[in-house]
C-alpha cells in the first residue's frame, strides 16, 4: 500500500507506493539525499501536510505532484520541466515507519510542493473564441445652446432661414412692380440657396427641420413658376418675362369662341368679327364701321359725311420700356400713311385726312404699372354706293412702325347705318 516518507534532511514529504518493509533506498526530490524508505504515522503526516499546504498557497509556488499508473510518481515544478521517480512494483503491505539515517543538523520544517497538473503537449489548450465588443450607443444629438445658433422669431427659424424668408417675400413684392421685375429671379434664387444651407445647419446643430424644409419647397416652387409660368406671378412680371417676338411675322389671333375654326387662320382676308391680327408686339383689331360726320383737315369748319372705320392698336411693353415706364416711340397712327378700302363690287377708296374724335389717346402710357399701350384710331373713307354688302380693308403696317400689309374683311354685321 502507499505510504508517506519524509526526508530526514530537508523534511520534504514524498508519497511512496512500495512497502516500507522492502527496504528500498529513496532519493529526495528536494535535496537529492538518499535515505531508507520507512512508513510514518498517518495522523501526524496528515496534519503536517495541511499546514504545509497553507504555507505553499501563500508562497504561490508552481509544482505538480501526480501519480502515474503502475507505481510511477511525477513531480512537475513547471510546465516545461517534469521529474519522474519510478519504483519497482511490489505487493503492498501495511505501512511501516522508515528508519532515518544517522542524526543530522536540525532540518527545516517539512515543505510540501503543490501545483497544477501539466497538460500533455499533444493536447494544446484550445484558443478562446473571439468575443465581439458591444457596439457603442450612438449619442443623441443635443440642441445647440450657443447664442449664434439659437432659433429666433415667432416661426422658430434660424437666422439663415429667416433671411431666406425675407428674400422670398421681397421677390413676390417685386413681381408686382415693373421697375423691380428684374430682381425677382435673383431674390428667389438667393432665398432657395439660403434655405438649403439652413437645412444643413439645422441638421448639424440639432434644430427643427420642418420649417426650413417647407421654406425650401416654397422657394423652389416660386422659382419654377417664375421660369415656367410667369403669368401666375401677375401680368407685370409676365410682360417682363415675355420673349421678344419677330417684328415681321404676322399672326392671326382668333377670338375665344372661334379658336377651333380652322378657316379663320387660313383665310387671305381675316374676318374682323372673328379674329385680330398681330405683328411683333402690336395687335390690330377692327372695332366697327359706319357712316358719320367728320371735318376734313385744312378745310373749313364745316363737316361732311364719311364712312368711318374704327380700329384699335395695342402693343406690349418690352423689359426696357417697363423699367422706363413709357413706350419708345409712342404708339400712334402716322398721318403720312394711308389705308385702302374696297367695296363688294371691287371699287377702291383711299383714306381721307379728317379730324375725328378718338375714343382713346395714343402715345406713352399714363401709368408705370400698365403693360399695354392702347390707341384707338378713326379712318375716314368716301361712302361706297352699297357698304352694307361687306367691305375689305388694307392696313399698311408702316403706319405704326411695322412692315407689310394687314388685310381685314368687314362683314355687314359690323357696319352701322
120 contacts 108 by C-beta, under 8 angstroms: no
- pLDDT(59) > 90: no
pLDDT band at 359 (very low <50, low <70, confident <90, very high): very low
Residues forming a β-bridge with 374: 314
Range picked from 23-37, 146-160, 239-253, 396-410 for highest mean pLDDT? 396-410
- DSSP symbols for 359-410: SS--SS-SSTT--EEEEEEEEEEPPPS-GGG-EEEEEEGGGGT--SEEEEEE
pLDDT at 224: 93
Q: Are residues 342 and 410 in the same domain?
A: yes
Domain assignment present for residue 339? The answer is: yes
Q: Which of 26-40, 128-142, 156-170, 240-254 shows the lowest per-residue confidence on average (mean pLDDT)?
A: 128-142
Domain assignment present for residue 46? The answer is: yes
Helix then strand count (H, E) for the chain reads: 7, 19
- CB proximity list for 8: less than 8 A, separation 6 or greater: 33, 35, 100, 101, 104, 107
- pLDDT higher at 69 or 226: 226
Q: Are residues 261 and 315 in the same domain?
A: yes
Rounded Cα distance, 169 and 183, in Å: 12
pLDDT at 193: 93
Rounded Cα distance, 318 and 365, in Å: 13
Domain end among 187, 212, 241:
241
What residues make up the domain containing 26? 3-86
Q: Which uninterrupted H or E stretch holds 197?
A: helix 184-205
Rounded Cα distance, 86 and 211, in Å: 91
Rounded Cα distance, 117 and 395, in Å: 124
Domain assignment present for residue 179? The answer is: yes
Q: What is the CATH number of the domain that holds 278?
A: 2.60.40
Domain end among 70, 86, 102:
86
Q: pLDDT, tens digit, for every residue of 153-212?
A: 445 667 888 889 899 999 999 998 888 889 999 999 999 999 999 889 888 887 778 888
- pLDDT(71) > 80: no
pLDDT at 327: 61
Q: Are residues 195 and 230 in the same domain?
A: yes
* Average pLDDT of every residue of the chain: 74
- pLDDT higher at 308 or 2: 308
Q: Are residues 264 and 401 in the same domain?
A: yes
19 contacts 115 by C-beta, under 8 angstroms: no
pLDDT at 304: 85
Q: Are residues 235 and 272 in the same domain?
A: no
User: What is the dihedral sign for C-alpha 37, 38, 44, 45?
Assistant: positive
Residues forming a β-bridge with 315: 282, 373
- pLDDT(223) > 90: yes
Domain assignment present for residue 99? The answer is: no
What is the C-alpha radius of gyration for the chain, rounded to an integer number of angstroms? 60
CA dihedral 244, 323, 397, 279 (to 10 degrees): 30
pLDDT at 202: 85
Domain assignment present for residue 221? The answer is: yes
Domain assignment present for residue 401? The answer is: yes
- pLDDT(380) > 80: yes
Q: Are residues 219 and 260 in the same domain?
A: no
Residues in the chain: 417
Rounded Cα distance, 277 and 408, in Å: 9
Q: pLDDT, tens digit, for every residue of 87-124?
A: 444 444 444 444 445 555 656 655 544 444 444 445 55
pLDDT at 172: 92
Q: Are residues 165 and 301 in the same domain?
A: no
pLDDT at 146: 45
| Mean pLDDT computed over 367-372 | 55
pLDDT band at 50 (very low <50, low <70, confident <90, very high): confident
pLDDT at 323: 67
Domain end among 190, 209, 241:
241
Rounded Cα distance, 335 and 333, in Å: 6
The runs of H, that is alpha helices, within 22-71 are 42-59
Angle between helices 184-205 and 159-174 (to 10 degrees): 160
pLDDT at 318: 72
Q: Are residues 187 and 283 in the same domain?
A: no
Q: Which uninterrupted H or E stretch holds 185?
A: helix 184-205
Rounded Cα distance, 5 and 22, in Å: 13
Q: Are residues 235 and 264 in the same domain?
A: no
- Structural domain tally of the chain? 3
Q: Are residues 230 and 343 in the same domain?
A: no
Domain assignment present for residue 321? The answer is: yes
Residues forming a β-bridge with 305: 293
Domain assignment present for residue 130? The answer is: no
Q: pLDDT, tens digit, for every residue of 241-286?
A: 876 655 678 899 999 999 888 889 888 999 999 999 998 888 999 9
Amino acid at each position: 500500500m502507499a505510504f508517506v516518507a519524509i526526508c530526514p534532511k530537508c523534511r520534504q514529504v514524498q508519497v511512496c507506493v512500495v512497502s516500507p518493509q522492502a527496504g528500498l533506498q529513496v532519493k529526495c526530490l528536494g535535496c537529492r539525499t538518499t535515505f531508507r524508505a520507512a512508513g510514518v504515522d498517518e495522523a501526524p503526516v496528515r496534519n503536517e501536510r495541511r499546514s504545509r499546504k497553507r504555507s505553499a498557497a501563500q508562497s504561490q509556488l508552481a509544482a505538480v505532484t501526480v501519480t502515474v499508473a503502475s507505481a510511477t510518481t511525477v513531480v512537475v515544478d513547471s510546465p516545461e520541466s517534469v521529474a519522474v521517480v519510478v519504483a519497482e512494483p511490489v505487493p503492498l503491505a501495511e505501512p511501516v515507519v522508515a528508519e532515518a539515517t544517522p542524526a543530522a543538523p536540525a532540518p527545516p520544517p517539512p515543505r510540501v510542493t503543490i501545483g497544477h497538473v501539466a497538460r500533455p503537449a499533444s493536447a494544446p489548450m484550445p484558443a478562446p473564441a473571439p468575443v465581439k465588443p458591444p457596439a457603442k450607443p450612438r449619442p443623441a444629438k443635443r440642441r445647440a445652446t450657443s447664442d449664434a445658433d439659437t432659433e429666433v422669431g415667432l416661426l422658430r427659424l434660424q437666422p439663415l432661414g429667416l433671411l431666406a424668408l425675407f428674400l422670398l417675400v421681397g421677390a413676390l413684392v417685386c413681381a408686382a412692380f415693373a421697375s423691380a421685375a428684374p430682381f425677382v429671379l435673383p431674390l428667389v434664387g438667393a432665398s432657395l440657396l439660403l434655405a438649403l444651407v439652413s437645412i444643413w445647419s439645422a441638421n448639424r446643430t440639432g434644430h427643427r427641420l420642418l420649417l426650413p424644409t417647407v421654406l425650401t419647397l416654397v422657394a423652389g416652387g416660386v422659382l419654377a413658376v417664375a421660369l415656367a409660368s410667369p403669368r401666375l406671378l401677375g401680368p407685370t412680371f409676365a410682360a417682363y418675362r415675355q420673349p421678344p417676338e419677330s417684328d415681321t411675322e404676322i399672326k392671326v389671333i382668333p377670338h375665344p369662341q372661334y379658336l377651333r375654326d380652322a378657316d379663320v387662320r387660313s383665310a387671305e382676308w381675316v374676318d374682323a368679327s372673328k379674329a385680330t391680327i398681330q405683328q411683333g408686339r402690336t395687335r390690330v383689331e377692327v372695332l366697327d364701321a359706319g357712316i358719320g360726320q367728320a371735318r376734313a383737315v385744312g378745310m373749313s369748319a364745316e363737316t361732311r359725311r364719311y364712312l368711318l372705320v374704327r380700329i384699335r392698336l395695342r402693343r406690349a411693353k418690352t423689359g426696357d420700356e417697363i423699367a422706363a415706364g413709357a413706350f419708345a416711340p409712342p404708339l400712334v397712327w402716322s398721318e403720312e400713311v394711308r389705308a385702302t378700302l374696297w367695296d363688294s363690287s371691287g371699287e377702291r377708296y383711299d383714306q381721307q385726312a379728317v379730324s375725328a374724335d378718338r375714343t382713346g389717346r395714343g402715345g406713352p402710357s399714363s401709368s408705370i404699372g400698365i403693360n399695354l399701350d392702347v390707341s384707338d384710331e378713326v379712318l375716314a373713307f368716301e361712302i361706297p354706293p352699297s357698304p352694307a354688302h361687306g367691305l375689305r380693308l388694307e392696313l399698311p403696317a408702316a403706319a405704326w412702325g411695322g412692315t407689310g400689309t394687314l388685310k381685314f374683311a368687314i362683314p355687314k354685321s359690323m357696319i352701322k347705318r
